[in-house]
């Protein structure tokens, strides 16, 4: 199947087919020729031989920034989506996957892959014609109505797996910027001297370049947290870029013990993982806004210590960082640094506790501006106690079946009785609601046979609006 896929031809097929030209296997996955003549360098950059890096669907501007650091890079692509003119029933076209992968990918050390590159181009007939072919039949891809967008990426992802499998025991790092998980179905068409035959159907996934990826559902968001229990330098590095990250796919580790969680969202879903699969290491990152800056820092400062065999020049003098070769006082200074960090963390933790206790203690001040019902009454009672009122009675607690509850709060004061009615509403009080407390006051005066009753109506109006914005 792989061999036949690599020989697919694209050809306009709304007319009778008299002659078909088939490309050789290099047409689908031919080695990318890189030309940097259009780049004006102010100074010559010395290319570092190792690691050898393949950048697949990484933007040219980002690749050029990596090259400025001397990285040895070749480009590739899983292909670009094509707008196919299948506008009505019985319309179909022959399409060629426009993917380009280095034919010697097995010689590379690192592959960097952006799965979210979503460009689309128009269908141009001559680009789907090949002029040379050997044999009496050919196998091509068949795109038919209602398909109007041909997506070659999952197919090319499957072909990329074939290239990665040729690595053998060679150590290799694959860095992936993720996209939402999806499948695409493909249909092959066999063209002979006399007839065309629809042949096999097959389905590939955008993540088909790896045998198994522990995928959960697609989910989009920007709020992420770097996981604990990972390399401290990697953790610090990832933390610097959390405000630039946007995730689109989640992962799991429940049944996959080769998987290391790196980043999660605020719901606990994993959005970045590392998979150690024999000689290959796959690192799945969410999308990052400044990819060139992110990759440069990762490849220059983080990856060499994690994958020293891939960076022989960067790790030439790494022995100096080992404890056996520490300079005088270095261990003492490191310990002092750790002590300061621990002391700082303890002080921060204590201050956070003080802040939380203070919020809890004075929470009633916010609640009298946001709550209604019993919660509002309770908050106002706390507020009155804070103002040092005594003899406060929550009338709801004294209610019996034969007594009609009217005011919410009573306070016995030196010169009489203070009654309070509380209400939280979305709008403003009606006149009838405002006058209700006066009626209650007159009844209490009659009960006491005295005019020493004072009435207060507390209303939390427009309770869903910030206090300074209320009318």
Give the predicted TM-score (pTM) of the model.
Answer: 0.65
Q: How confident is the model at residue 8 (pLDDT cuts 50, 70, 90)?
A: low
- Residue 32's pLDDT band, with cuts at 50, 70 and 90, is very low
pLDDT of residue 323: 86
Q: Report the phi/psi class of residue 89: left, alpha or beta, with left for phi > 0 and alpha for psi in -120 to 50.
A: beta
| Strand boundaries in 5-60, DSSP class E | 48-56
- Structure tokens given for 90: 């019985």
Residue 2 pLDDT exceeds 80: no
Instruction: Lay out the sheet containing 416-424: strands in order across.
Output: 392-394, 409-413, 416-424, 453-460
Mean pLDDT rounded to a whole number for the chain: 86
Residues 6+ apart with CB under 8 A from 334: none
Window from 56-60, 267-271, 405-409 with minimum mean pLDDT: 405-409
Closest of 284, 283, 300 to residue 292, by C-alpha: 300
- For 173-231, how does the pLDDT look when each residue is reduced to its tens digit (9 = 90+)? 999 999 999 999 999 988 888 888 899 999 999 999 999 999 999 999 999 999 998 99
Q: How many residues does the chain have?
A: 471
pLDDT per position as a tens digit, 40-72:
445 677 888 999 999 999 999 999 999 999 999
pLDDT at 356: 96
Which CATH code of 1.10.287, 3.20.20, 1.20.1250, 3.40.1350 fits the domain covering 373-469? Answer: 3.40.1350
Half-sphere exposure of 81 (CA within 13 A, CB side): 13
Tokens 């792989």, located at residue: 2
User: Domain 52-324 adopts which CATH fold?
Assistant: Rossmann fold (3.40.50)
Q: How far is CA 251 from CA 171, 216, 234, 257, 260, in A?
A: 24, 5, 19, 13, 11
pLDDT of 332 above 90: yes
Could you give the 3-state DSSP secondary structure of residue 128? helix
- Cβ partners under 8 Å of residue 97, min gap 6: 8, 28, 79, 141, 152, 155, 156
Q: Among 14-18, 81-85, 157-161, where is mean pLDDT lowest?
A: 14-18
For residue 252, name the pLDDT band (cuts at 50, 70, 90).
very high
Strand partners, 94: 142
Summarize pLDDT for 334-387 with one digit per residue, the tens: 999 999 999 999 999 999 999 999 999 999 999 999 898 889 999 999 999 999
What's the longest Cα–Cα distance across the chain? 116
Environment class of 213 (CB within 10 Å of its CB; exposed 0-12, middle 13-18, buried 19+): buried
- Asked if the model's pLDDT at residue 438 lies above 60, the reply is yes
List, as one string, the DSSP characters of 316-353. TTGGGGSGGGPPTTHHHHHHHHHHHHHHHHHHHHHHHH
């Amino acid at each position: 199947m792989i061999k036949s896929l690599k020989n697919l031809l694209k050809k306009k097929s709304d007319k009778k087919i008299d002659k078909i030209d088939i490309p050789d296997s290099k047409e689908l996955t031919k080695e990318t020729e890189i030309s940097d003549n259009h780049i004006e360098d102010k100074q010559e950059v010395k290319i570092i031989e190792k690691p050898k890096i393949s950048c697949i669907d990484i933007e040219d501007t980002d690749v050029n920034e990596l090259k400025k650091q001397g990285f040895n890079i070749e480009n590739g692509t899983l292909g670009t989506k094509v707008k196919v003119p299948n506008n009505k029933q019985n319309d179909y076209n022959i399409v060629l996957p426009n993917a380009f992968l280095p034919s010697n990918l097995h010689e590379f050390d690192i592959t960097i892959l952006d799965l979210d590159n979503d460009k689309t181009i128009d269908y141009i007939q001559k680009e789907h014609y090949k002029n040379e072919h050997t044999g009496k039949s050919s196998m091509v891809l068949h795109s038919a109505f209602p398909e109007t967008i041909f997506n070659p990426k999952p197919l090319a992802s499957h072909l990329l797996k074939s290239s990665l499998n040729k690595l053998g025991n060679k150590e290799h790092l694959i860095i992936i910027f993720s996209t939402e998980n999806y499948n695409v179905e493909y249909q092959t068409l066999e063209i002979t001297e006399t007839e065309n035959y629809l042949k096999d159907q097959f389905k590939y996934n955008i993540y088909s370049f790896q045998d198994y990826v522990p995928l959960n559902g697609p989910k989009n968001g920007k709020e992420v947290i770097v996981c604990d229990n990972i390399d401290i330098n990697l953790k610090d590095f990832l933390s610097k870029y959390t405000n630039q990250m946007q995730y689109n796919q989640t992962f799991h580790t429940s049944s996959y013990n080769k998987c290391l969680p790196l980043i999660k969202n605020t719901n606990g879903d994993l959005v970045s993982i590392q998979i150690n699969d024999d000689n290959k290491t796959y690192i799945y990152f969410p999308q990052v806004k400044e990819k060139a800056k992110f990759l440069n820092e990762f490849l220059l400062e983080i990856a060499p210590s994690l994958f020293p065999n891939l960076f022989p020049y960067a790790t030439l003098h790494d022995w100096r960082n080992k404890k056996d070769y520490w300079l005088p006082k270095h261990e003492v200074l490191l310990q002092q640094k750790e002590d300061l960090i621990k002391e700082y963390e303890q002080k921060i933790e204590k201050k956070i506790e003080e802040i939380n206790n203070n919020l809890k203690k004075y929470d009633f001040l916010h609640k009298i501006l946001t709550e209604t019902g019993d919660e509002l009454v309770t908050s106002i009672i706390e507020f009155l106690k804070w103002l040092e009122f005594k003899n406060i009675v929550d009338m709801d607690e004294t209610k019996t079946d034969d007594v009609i509850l009217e005011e919410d709060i009573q306070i016995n004061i030196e010169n009489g009785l203070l009654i309070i009615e509380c209400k939280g509403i979305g709008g403003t009080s009606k006149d009838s609601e405002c006058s209700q407390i006066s009626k209650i006051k007159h009844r209490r005066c009659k009960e006491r046979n005295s005019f020493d009753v004072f009435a207060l109506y507390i209303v939390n109006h427009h309770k869903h609006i910030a206090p300074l914005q209320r009318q």
